[in-house]
Amino acid sequence: MYSLVYIEKESLMGNLKPKIQIKNNLHVLRASLKITQAELALAIGVTRATVNAMENGDYNPSLELAFRLSLFFKKDIQEIFTVGDENEKI
């Protein structure tokens, strides 16, 4: 019984590891609107550095920020963010 619980916990911890890479086309969408990173940052309430980090794939936004981006670009979240190849090295 104890070992079963242990395995369950271990697998739960394993699920927390980031295995998928989330890609985005923020750069393309922003360019289509002809706005700067600073302007986008101001519109969605973050710093310019965060917009830059998201565009470079260094930072995955929270669900709340993803929805804010979705509302700003008037697109579904899945049109902005896509799941990359699972085997691709992050």
- How far from the centroid of its chain's Cα atoms is residue 13's Cα? 21
Judged by CB under 8 A, the residue of 22, 42, 65, 77 near another protein is: 65
| Using rule CB under 8 A, residue 69 touches another protein | no
Name the minimum Å distance from CB 48 to another protein.
10
Residues in the chain: 90
**1 residue type, one letter:** M
Q: How far apart are CA 22 and CA 82, in angstroms?
A: 6
Cβ–Cβ under 8 Å, residues 70 and 80: yes
Residues within window 34-63 making contact with another protein, judged by CB under 8 A: 45-47, 49-50, 53, 59, 61-62
Residues that bind another protein (CB under 8 A): 45-47, 49-50, 53, 59, 61-62, 64-65
